[in-house]
Amino acid sequence: MPTKAVPRKQAAPAAAKAEAPLPFDARKLRPSHTFPEDIIAEIQRMADEGLYYIRGFGAKRKLPTFDDLVFLGASATRYPLEGYRERCATNVVLGDRFAKKPIELKTPITIAGMSFGALGSHAKEALGRAATAMGTTTTTGDGGMTQEERQSSKTLVYQVLPSRYGMNPDDLRKADAIEVVIGQGAKPGGGGMLLGQKITERVAKMRTLPVGIDQRSASRHPDWTGMDDLEIKINELREITDWEKPIYVKIGASRPQYDVPMCVKAGADVIVLDGMQGGTAATQDVFIEHVGIPTLPALKLAVEALKSMDMHRKVQLIVSGGIRTGADVAKAIAMGADAVSIGMGALIALGCNKPVHEEDYEALGTRPGFCHHCQTGRCPVGITTQRPELEARLDPERGARLVRNYLTALTLELQTVARANGKSHVLHLEPEDMAALTIEAAAMAGVPLAGTNWVPGRV
């Protein structure tokens, strides 16, 4: 403790005349951390409407992401591969556990399930064509399979959802794989939602619902409860399709350490794990932002569970939720995923949040870069809409080109990173190739903090 008294600051000499206080001094505005402007606006919206906020897109809050990890690359102790000369393979086989006809992806980047209804037919077609050109898969969604998407997608995954809207055994047999959806990352524990403004006649007919009603899908499957039932259900789906097709089970990221072993036991060929950053066309904001865990820790827990059962790479793991770049893909694979799935990224490639038709964004009360208004059915760029005049803004052929280019760039980035780490196949990437930049990411991803060999939580 200092013993000497510190001399007090001298008061200003009385001669210096105090200036009159400014009538308004912006520096004195003190925002509340607890009640910032957006919270004030939300409280007042709730007071006006008495309802939760339903919106599209995905989690907007700051979450730990793959950006908090880096690859170490090769140096004196690891050899890199020649960037443009040596082969770095990207093919991945999905569903060879029980299915007679597994799926071979040329690139481990698939297109996530998005419904016709949430998306317009042009967007669905563009995604299907792009996936076909890239040798990867696309996925149906709540509401069943459209002829357009079956035709445009060479390899199509057919979702079996709690709502069973449009569920049809003919489509099941036409599919290349079947995905039993238990949940999605944006809302683990919540069913699909499509507001009345998007339930056009065609959408209503596919779902056997009246036109214009707010459609809230069930959150539990109608004919099974619990994982012992699911095992029997999966068996039924295999029986109906003569054991040909891989069966995926999709879960939202909540408790992957328990859910993944259950899915393995139930007989899944492939597990699709969707982190809380996963997109949605319409969900309560409170659900999007506050239920579920981020992709990073979910992936680690899932891989640990698979390894503990000696099922890693035997039951394949597809991870989704916030995958944007080739680096994200590489990091997900290095952490143990077999493939990734992309929803929002593909829509953004199609033009979501692009600064065009700005007046239409404004009419929705938003701006390019901030839009999350898929629930309105008035997508300014013609993706999440059923309105012909808006859909006309998205030419399926041009859209397919954009998504194809995006997937190509992602694959090239993935290979670049893999070669830099000396891998001749992207699946050879491993956690040892990475370091974490934050303590949080180190703990969540199970990767040592850069400059240390410390993985918080590991003894």
Partner 1 sequence: MAVDLDTTSVRALNESLHRITPSSNERHWRIVNPRGKHAIAAGLTQPIDVEIDGHVGYYCAGMNQNARITVRGQAGKGLGENIMSGEIRVTGNVSECAGASGHGGLIVIEGDAAGRCGISMKGVDIVVKGSVGHMSAFMAQAGRLVVCGDADHSLGDSIYEAALYVRGSVGSLGADCVEKDMDATEIEALGQLLKDAGVDASAREFRRYGSARKLYNFHIDHADAY
Residue 337 interacts with which of ligand SF4, partner 1, none, CB < 5 to 8 Å by class: none
Closest to 269 in 3D by CA, of 311, 308, 297: 311
> How many residues comprise the chain?
459
Q: Which stretch binds partner 1 (CB under 8 A): 1-9, 225-233, 334-342, 379-387?
A: 225-233
Q: What is the DSSP letter of 337?
A: -
| Least Å from the CB of residue 46 to partner 1 | 11
Closer Cβ to ligand SF4, 383 or 418, answer by number: 383
Q: Which stretch binds partner 1 (CB under 8 A): 201-209, 256-264, 383-391, 422-430?
A: 201-209
Residue 381 interacts with which of partner 1, ligand SF4, none, CB < 5 to 8 Å by class: ligand SF4
Say what angle helices 326-335 and 295-308 make with each other, to 10 degrees: 30
Rule CB under 8 A: say whether 49 interacts with partner 1: yes
Rule CB under 8 A: say whether 240 interacts with partner 1: yes
Rule CB under 6 A: say whether 118 interacts with ligand SF4: no
Closest to 111 in 3D by CA, of 154, 57, 55: 154
The pair of three-digit structure tokens given for residue 56, joined into one six-digit string: 């599209």
Work out which of 95, 246, 275, 380 binds ligand SF4, going by CB under 6 A.
380
Closest to 352 in 3D by CA, of 370, 340, 365: 370
Residues near 440 by beta carbon (within 8 Å), at least 6 away in sequence:
64, 68
The pair of three-digit structure tokens given for residue 130, joined into one six-digit string: 């792009």
- Residue 95: how many CB atoms within 10 A of its CB? 23
Rule CB under 8 A: say whether 208 interacts with partner 1: yes
Q: What is the DSSP letter of 138?
A: E
Residue 208 interacts with which of partner 1, ligand SF4, none, CB < 5 to 8 Å by class: partner 1
Rule CB under 8 A: say whether 224 interacts with partner 1: yes
Residue 49 interacts with which of partner 1, ligand SF4, none, CB < 5 to 8 Å by class: partner 1
User: In degrees, to the nearest 5, what angle opens at C-alpha 242 toward C-alphas 239 and 245?
Assistant: 100
Rule CB under 8 A: say whether 210 interacts with partner 1: yes
Closer Cβ to ligand SF4, 181 or 371, answer by number: 371
Residue that the structure tokens 């309802």 belong to = 51
| Buried residues in 192-215 as b, exposed as e (16+ CB within 10 A) | bbbbeebbbeebbebbebeeeeeb
Rule CB under 6 A: say whether 381 interacts with ligand SF4: yes
Sheet holding 109-111, edge to edge: 109-111, 339-342, 316-320, 270-274, 247-252, 177-181, 156-160, 138-139
Rule CB under 8 A: say whether 74 interacts with partner 1: no
Residue 172 interacts with which of partner 1, ligand SF4, none, CB < 5 to 8 Å by class: partner 1
Rule CB under 8 A: say whether 50 interacts with partner 1: yes
Work out which of 122, 221, 373, 404 binds ligand SF4, going by CB under 6 A.
373
Rule CB under 6 A: say whether 56 interacts with ligand SF4: yes
User: In degrees, to the nearest 5, what angle opens at C-alpha 266 toward C-alphas 219 and 279?
Assistant: 40
Q: Which stretch binds partner 1 (CB under 8 A): 77-85, 107-115, 234-242, 438-446?
A: 234-242
Residue 373 interacts with which of ligand SF4, partner 1, none, CB < 5 to 8 Å by class: ligand SF4
| Least Å from the CB of residue 169 to partner 1 | 4
Residue 374 interacts with which of partner 1, ligand SF4, none, CB < 5 to 8 Å by class: ligand SF4
Contact criterion met (CB below 8 Å) for 156 and 138? yes
User: In degrees, to the nearest 5, what angle opens at C-alpha 172 toward C-alphas 168 and 175?
Assistant: 135
Contact criterion met (CB below 8 Å) for 276 and 63? yes
Size of the site for partner 1 (CB under 8 A): 32
Closest to 205 in 3D by CA, of 123, 116, 112, 124: 116
Work out which of 42, 86, 201, 229 binds partner 1, going by CB under 8 A.
229
Rule CB under 8 A: say whether 241 interacts with partner 1: yes
* Residues within the interface to partner 1 (CB under 8 A): 49-51, 163-164, 167-170, 172, 196, 207-210, 212-214, 218, 222-224, 229, 232-233, 235-236, 239-243
